[in-house]
Amino acid sequence: MSSVRRISMAIVGLSFVVQKLGNLLTEEANLLSEVKDPVEQMQIMLKGINSFLRRMDATQEADEELCSLRADIRNIAYDAEDVIDSFILKVASIRRRGVQSVIKRYACYFNEWMLLCEVGLEIEAIKRRIICIWRTYGIGPPLEGEMSTQPPLRLPESRRRSDPDPNEEDDIIGMEEEVEALVEQLMKPEERCCVIAIVGMGGLGKTTLAKRVYSHNTIKPRFECGAWVYVSEQHRTRDILKEILERIDTSTKEEMESYDDDDDDDENMGDESLGLKIYQQLNDKRYLIVLDDIWTKEVWDDLKSAFPDGKNGSKILVTTRSINVAWHVDPQGRHHTPRFLTSEESWELLRRKAFPENGDADRSYSTVKENLGRQMVQYCSGLPLAIVVIGGLLATKEEEYGWQVVSNNIVNAQVGVEKILALSYCDLPYHLKPCFLYMGIFPANFDISTSKLYRLWIAEGLIPLETLGDDVTVEDIAEVYLQELVQRCMVQICRSHFDGRMKTCRLHDSIRELCLQKASEENFLKIFDSRNSRDVNPSTSSSSPPFRRHAVHFVHDWYVSNKHHHSSNRHLRSLLFFNPLSKWRPGMENRRVKPIYRDFKLLRVLDLEDVHIGCLPEEIGKLIHLRYLGLRRSFVNYIPASVGNLKCLQTLDLKNSPGIIGPHNPVVIVSNVIWKMEQLRHLFLPSYGHSFHLRLQTLRKLQTLWGIEAGRWMEEGGGLDNFTSLRKLGLRSITTSSQQMNQILEKSSSMTSLKSLSLSICNPSDPTQKFPDLERLSNFSSLRTLQLYGMLQSLPCKFPPYITKLTLVFSRLSSDPMLTLEGLPNLSSLVLGMLTYMGDKMVCSSEGFPQLRFMRLEGLHQLQDWEVKEAAMPKLKRLEIENCYRLKMIPDGLVSVGTLKELEIRRMPREFENRVGLRGEDHYKVSHIPSITVLFTLDQN
């Protein structure tokens, strides 16, 4: 088993490099023309080794001798990649120096010739090492049909498999009595604020149990306010306090945001201010606070002063792995340890996961499978997480033979829970292994944006750069890969779009520990957490090659100031920063992060999101291997012309925060060099700054073009006609002339892949600026998402036929928009934003909005009466009402919307909030809704 596992991981690394060599031969044909033959020969040799390893992996015919291949293969693969990348970097550096004279020109040619000789010798040395492996293990060239480095991508079949239900509740097996017992404890009236701790090992179901208790229908009416926050092993006290305050505070949003900058020079004072604010908010209320996943006593010591005794019966519910932490939190409190599942309960949970009813309702299982399943769960020791993971693994095994193989691996090896989790990793197809390992790069309990994850996977080369058919792209393949990991219960869905697509995901703590362990064993990635002055990853042998990926969690100044990281990691390929401290100020950071551009010249991924660097230096142009450059919310105010050297870039993210222009939201000047990045697939431009002058006609691979100003680029060199692959288009500063709008709509409607369109006129809040006629929107046959920012003469009579998500802002409609919108048959999400409707009454008719899951009403200042007829919005799950301060009451018809799970009320008058409160006259209308959140109460004025 051990040797098979190691061989499988060797396939991952080798396939990865073989694919990169092929890409390099294609992308850098000019630079590599003199050494093309040796590189191709090296690629074929590596493919031969790869094919051999695959045959061993498929038949499981492996022994310990083959495990010695692992280190050799990894080192050869890394060295081959370094030789090619370093050669390209050096040649590019020579050519940047210019050829101003004949002498310099010939000197340039001579230097390139010397480099070719040097790289030729290095390639020959690598070939000799490969030949040695061939001879030692009797490996020949790859067999016919084995030349592909990627597995068959059965994308259509994968897509037909049902997506996980985004609203599926956690499986509760054997916890019913425990839920009722905890609910009873929370309902007890007690003079002081009591703490109830759910204690147990990872994977026992502590969070699942706490969620079910927190959302119990008898708990909500008992408490006047509540908050759920994740703590985790890696945390910042300020982040936890702010998250609690955001959920309970009734002050204005502006007051809340002021805490971001308070006491920057003394963070402890800032924490005290936040704690005092929480204390004041809770002091006269009966509250319930859930602190999920507390690891240390110090966490509680930092938080406890924020929680008063409050009204009679206030409670705090914590989950923790440590009984010592539980006793420390409240020596007089109650502790509950979820029990392990019985054999019958274990089988029932396995059955649900292995035979998901939502995916294959008619799928039956044989007695053989049942017997094997019952045998396997005995080795899970009643631990829910282990059973769920095994169930996800078995769900991919159609035949009884597959079940038998898994059972043999578990039973014969007498494995325990940790090895069962590892088995789920070992069973992953080799193309999914690096994708799974990559997810360890994100912090614990971090909500991972799926769209960003796809772009990172692609930039790293973890997804094959190819398309299948006219409408299937590498991004689609990445989505299918993530779906497979979810279906195998290796990844959890956090949030989904209301059309069912995954929006964010995360790893369970125990799965993440497995991920980091495997990633460290394979030198795949290294994590730095400078707050704790230690590495999260276990140490590796000094003889191992350096890690190719670094992730810096939280504070980044410690990392960039540590010269050891720079000198020993010259071959670093990926560097990502997460959640830096807010007290970093623009102007100071650029000096500290500048060594990144100087020392890590082979980087392919650089993510500086939320790192306040202020100014992007010219040196950024030296990172010519970059595929991904993330500068979202980095306070960058200037993009230098040197970024034009980044010709391999696939993603450029310059998106900044919405809001007013200021020190924290500067106007961004973008040099007119974007057109040089012909490999660009995703371009996010800043909301502030001029972009109408940019040349873009060469960017024919664009999938995303967001935040671009309407301008000359739409006509020059073919204009919008060039972007036949666009899936997401966001245009701003559109003039009110019919000619420009008609041009946009005519050209965009011919983009057969376009799924998302956002249109914003110049000064959309200006009532004198109106959209021209938009009737051409009905021609967008593939469009799913539409956003319109600006005044409309009227709603179009016809919308795109398959529209599922619609956002209207500043529309200033005089007629009730519901009369038109409720007839859209596929609409699942509707946002009526600021000043969209100027009337005082709105009606949702019976059977209107048949597919609507989400509705948001914001800034409808004239709206007083909202009527919802019976049988309207039969599938609504979430409703948000914000700043509609003249709205008198919640509509009566919400009583009959039984699917409604969440109601959020923001910036509404206290009188409105009181009506839906526990003793309010409208409470009966919302008493069936499990989650009701009230934030940022408006005063009577």
**Would you call 135 helix, strand, or coil by DSSP?**
helix
Average pLDDT, the chain: 79
**What pairing do the DSSP bridges indicate for beta strands 682-684 and 651-653?**
parallel
Q: How far is CA 805 from the centre of its chain?
A: 20
Which pLDDT score is estimated for 488? 85
Which pLDDT score is estimated for 877? 94
Which pLDDT score is estimated for 362? 42
Q: Does the pLDDT value for residue 93 go beyond 50?
A: yes
Which pLDDT score is estimated for 754? 92
What is the pLDDT confidence band of residue 94, given thresholds at 50, 70 and 90? low
- Across 405-483, the runs of DSSP E, i.e. the strands, are 448-449
Q: Does the pLDDT value for residue 308 go beyond 60?
A: yes
Which pLDDT score is estimated for 532? 46
CB 628 within 8 A of CB 455: yes
Which pLDDT score is estimated for 587? 43
Instruction: Return the percentage of the chain with pLDDT > 70, whole number.
Output: 76
Q: Which of 112-116, 394-398, 444-448, 584-588 has the lowest mean pLDDT?
A: 584-588
Which pLDDT score is estimated for 164? 35
- List, in sequence order, every residue forming a beta bridge with 316; answer none if it has no partner: 195, 289
Q: End-to-end distance of the chain based on CA atoms, in angstroms? A: 71
What is the pLDDT confidence band of residue 101, given thresholds at 50, 70 and 90? very low
CB atoms within 10 A of CB 367: 7
**Which range, 133-137, 143-147, 789-793, is most confident?**
789-793
In the 8-state DSSP scheme, what is residue 321?
S
What is the pLDDT confidence band of residue 735, given thresholds at 50, 70 and 90? confident
Expressed in percent and rounded to 5, the helix, strand and coil fractions of the chain are 40, 15, 45
pLDDT tens sequence across 608-640: 988 877 778 888 998 988 999 999 988 888 899
What is the dotted CATH code of the domain comprising 7-137?
1.20.5
Q: Which of 97-111, 603-617, 675-689, 847-861 has the lowest mean pLDDT?
A: 97-111
Q: Which of 35-49, 172-186, 809-823 has the lowest mean pLDDT?
A: 35-49
pLDDT tens sequence across 136-194: 766 655 544 444 444 444 443 333 333 333 344 456 787 888 888 999 888 888 878 88
What is the pLDDT confidence band of residue 921, given thresholds at 50, 70 and 90? very high
Which pLDDT score is estimated for 931? 84
SS (H, E, C) 612-629: CCCCCCHHHHHCCCCCEE
Which pLDDT score is estimated for 52? 67
In DSSP notation, 558-584 reads HHHH-HHHHHT-TT--EEEEE---TT-
Q: Which of 232-246, 378-392, 891-905 has the lowest mean pLDDT?
A: 232-246
Phi, psi of 493 (to 5 degrees): -85, 130
Averaged pLDDT, 900-928: 90
Closest to 726 in 3D by CA, of 692, 707, 761, 750: 750
If one compares 616 and 569, the residue with the highest pLDDT of the two is 616
Q: Which two tokens stand for residue 776?
A: 């051409």
Which pLDDT score is estimated for 603? 92
Alpha-carbon gap, residue 783 to 67, rounded angstroms: 51
**What angle, 0 to 180 degrees and rounded to 10, lies between the N-to-C axes of helices 417-426 and 509-521?**
60
In DSSP notation, 914-937 reads HHHSTTSTTHHHHTT-SEEEEESP
Q: Does the pLDDT value for residue 757 go beyond 90?
A: yes
Alpha-carbon gap, residue 215 to 115, rounded angstroms: 66
Contacts of residue 768, Cβ cutoff 8 Å, sequence gap at least 6:
none
Residues 705, 708, 714: CA angle, nearest 5 degrees: 90
Phi, psi of 687 (to 5 degrees): -70, -20
If one compares 503 and 142, the residue with the highest pLDDT of the two is 503
Q: Does the pLDDT value for residue 821 go beyond 70?
A: yes
**What pairing do the DSSP bridges indicate for beta strands 785-789 and 756-761?**
parallel
Which pLDDT score is estimated for 157? 37
Which pLDDT score is estimated for 114? 65
Instruction: Return the percentage of the chain with pLDDT > 90, whole number.
Output: 26
In the 8-state DSSP scheme, what is residue 178?
H
Domain 193-254+271-336 has CATH 3.40.50.300: yes
Q: Does the pLDDT value for residue 269 go beyond 50?
A: no
Which pLDDT score is estimated for 468? 56
Alpha-carbon gap, residue 392 to 386, rounded angstroms: 10
pLDDT tens sequence across 506-549: 998 888 988 998 888 878 898 887 554 445 554 444 455 678 89
In the 8-state DSSP scheme, what is residue 143?
P
Which pLDDT score is estimated for 747? 84
Q: Does the pLDDT value for residue 884 go beyond 90?
A: yes
Alpha-carbon gap, residue 424 to 350, rounded angstroms: 14
Q: Which two tokens stand for residue 629?
A: 């450059």
**Which range, 388-397, 853-862, 912-921, is most confident?**
853-862
Which pLDDT score is estimated for 445? 83
Residues 752, 757, 759: CA angle, nearest 5 degrees: 135
What is the pLDDT confidence band of residue 237, given thresholds at 50, 70 and 90? confident
Q: Which two tokens stand for residue 809?
A: 């802002």
Alpha-carbon gap, residue 483 to 477, rounded angstroms: 10
Return the CATH architecture of domain 340-427.
Orthogonal Bundle (1.10)
CB atoms within 10 A of CB 342: 12
Which pLDDT score is estimated for 167? 41
Q: Using the structure block, give the residue that is written with the tokens 């946002």.
A: 831
Domain 430-524 has CATH 1.10.10.10: yes
Q: Which two tokens stand for residue 708?
A: 């671009």
Q: Which of 171-175, 239-243, 644-648, 705-709 has the lowest mean pLDDT?
A: 171-175
Closest to 593 in 3D by CA, of 621, 623, 622, 614: 614
In this prediction the pTM is: 0.81
Which pLDDT score is estimated for 12? 52
Q: Does the pLDDT value for residue 7 go beyond 60?
A: no
Q: Which of 77-86, 444-453, 667-676 has the lowest mean pLDDT?
A: 77-86
Averaged pLDDT, 320-348: 87
Alpha-carbon gap, residue 918 to 914, rounded angstroms: 8
What is the pLDDT confidence band of residue 401, given thresholds at 50, 70 and 90? confident
Q: Which of 30-39, 328-337, 687-696, 831-840 has the lowest mean pLDDT?
A: 30-39
Averaged pLDDT, 373-384: 86
What is the pLDDT confidence band of residue 874, given thresholds at 50, 70 and 90? very high
